[in-house]
Copies of this chain bind each other. A is one copy, B any other.
Amino acid sequence: MIGNFFVEAEDGNARAGVLNTAHGSINTPAFMPVATQGSVKALDFTDLRSMGAHVVLSNTYHLMLRPGIDLIRDLGGLHKFIDWDGPILTDSGGFQTFSLGKLTKVTDAGVQFRSHIDGSLRFLSPEIVLEYQSSLGVDIAMVLDQCSEYGLGHAEIMEAMRRTHDWALRSRETHNNPDQLIFGIVQGGWDIALRKQSAEFLKSLDFDGYAIGGMSVGEPKSVMYETVSLMGQELPYSKPRYLMGVGSPEDLVESVYMGVDLFDCVLPTRVARNGSLMTLKGRINILNKQYSKSTGPIEESCDCYTCERFSVAYLHHLFKARELSAYRLASIHNLRFILKLMEDMRLAIKSNTLGLYREEFARNYHPTDESIRLVQKQKWSKRRQESS
């Protein structure tokens, strides 16, 4: 039945599950490649199918501005428009609108903002984002929420959380699409007590799933891990847990270990386009001269399209020569690397060996500071707006 989430196996706090949607089931833990504007950058959905993706994420905010919700609805819905017949989750757009800073006005009614494309005045409310997500015909809708940037004071976080809860209630009351799941979003910033309070309130609304929002927004890793760990305890066992915007290999392993089921992140494809390719030892910069003569694949154990066909030397050449194909081949590799990581963790959970898997991963994988620097270099607000 749509919405049912079965936990097939557990290992400590980690779970291997199946989430049923109107466009098929999702094996969890699962990573959702990000098709912000209806396209996973540099790829098409045949690539996504080939690499074993089960579900993709798109974005209500971006699609409403371009090409427009009505147009997609009139053309038969988002699945048909983008050529993807599997499950789609859409973010509500709240995260993006807040990024517009002074151009955005948040009231209890909703969010007024100016389009980053043509400057036109637009409005989103909890009710409107659900109407839009129904028009798109997506399988999992996210409620409108208000995110708290790291560093905000207690009062501001409280206010954003109160509003998020108010909106969640209105969303729950509004939602009446039997073909669509609806997920609530826990807020509360860096304040662990507020996070707990937020989780408790949202639980009372009985959503089909629960997202952990406002993570990876500038906070130290320790804050994120503490929050995720708490959520692995507090959120309902029988519902999927979704950590929004997180997707570095090390964070995925830690978060699955703490009980998270769903993830999305632009990191794998964004860094791929910069030539940063994932291996089980860490990320390599394909542009480095040392890779100009390597005849092997990026990662020996990888079964992706790119690794099966092309040498590191050829990829080095494509990046050096700025050939467009480089972006696609690198994105395919990094996404498949992440998807395989999830598949391997699922198997480990089923065989009760996730602890060993996590230890071995941590022993071999050297997280680059690069990812942290990449994130810190960019303004948080800019990241939110682009989101891909």
In angstroms, Cα B66 to Cα A379, docked, is 36
Q: Name the B residues within 8 Å of A372 (CB-CB).
A: none
B323 touches A324 (CB 8 A): no
Which of A75-83, A150-158, A209-217, A342-350 is the interface stretch?
A75-83
**Chain B CB within 8 A of A169 CB:** no
Contact mask for chain A residues 235-249; partner B; CB cutoff 8 A; 1 contact, 0 none:
000000000000000
Contact mask for chain A residues 32-68; partner B; CB cutoff 8 A; 1 contact, 0 none:
0000011111111010000000000000000000110
A41 touches B292 (CB 8 A): no
B38 touches A314 (CB 8 A): yes
Chain B nearest CB: distance from A379 CB in Å?
21
A331 closest partner in B (C-beta): B324
Chain B nearest CB: distance from A231 CB in Å?
33
Q: Name the B residues within 8 Å of A324 (CB-CB).
A: 41-42, 324, 327-328
Q: Name the B residues within 8 Å of A71 (CB-CB).
A: 292-293, 313
In angstroms, Cα B76 to Cα A293, docked, is 11
In angstroms, Cα B309 to Cα A323, docked, is 25
Contact mask for chain A residues 315-348; partner B; CB cutoff 8 A; 1 contact, 0 none:
0111011011101110000000000000000000
Interface size on A, residues (CB 8 A): 37
**Chain B CB within 8 A of A311 CB:** yes
B39 touches A323 (CB 8 A): yes
**Chain B CB within 8 A of A251 CB:** no
Q: Name the B residues within 8 Å of A316 (CB-CB).
A: 67
In angstroms, Cα B37 to Cα A317, docked, is 9
Report which of B44, B293, B317, B328 forms a contact with A66, defined as CB distance below 8 A: B317
In angstroms, Cα B293 to Cα A74, docked, is 9
In angstroms, Cα B314 to Cα A43, docked, is 14
Chain B nearest CB: distance from A67 CB in Å?
5
In angstroms, Cα B322 to Cα A41, docked, is 10
Stoichiometry, as copies per complex, reads 2
**Chain B CB within 8 A of A376 CB:** no
In angstroms, Cα B46 to Cα A266, docked, is 26
B75 touches A320 (CB 8 A): no
Chain B nearest CB: distance from A274 CB in Å?
13
In angstroms, Cα B35 to Cα A314, docked, is 13
Q: Which of A6-53 contact B (CB under 8 A)?
A: 37-44, 46
In angstroms, Cα B311 to Cα A243, docked, is 34
**Chain B CB within 8 A of A233 CB:** no
B81 touches A39 (CB 8 A): no
**Chain B CB within 8 A of A290 CB:** no
A81 closest partner in B (C-beta): B314
**Chain B CB within 8 A of A201 CB:** no
Chain B nearest CB: distance from A68 CB in Å?
9
In angstroms, Cα B323 to Cα A328, docked, is 12
Using A71-B292, A324-B324 as known contacts, list a sample of 15 further A-B pairs with CB atoms less than 8 Å apart, ordered by residue number in A.
Answer: A37-B317, A38-B317, A38-B321, A39-B321, A42-B324, A43-B325, A44-B328, A66-B320, A67-B316, A71-B293, A81-B311, A81-B313, A81-B314, A82-B314, A83-B314
Identify 24 residue pairs between A and B in the complex whose beta-carbon atoms are under 8 Å apart, listed by A's number.
A37-B317, A38-B317, A40-B325, A42-B325, A42-B328, A44-B328, A44-B329, A46-B309, A66-B317, A67-B292, A67-B313, A67-B320, A74-B293, A75-B293, A75-B311, A81-B311, A81-B313, A81-B314, A83-B309, A83-B310, A83-B314, A324-B324, A324-B327, A324-B328
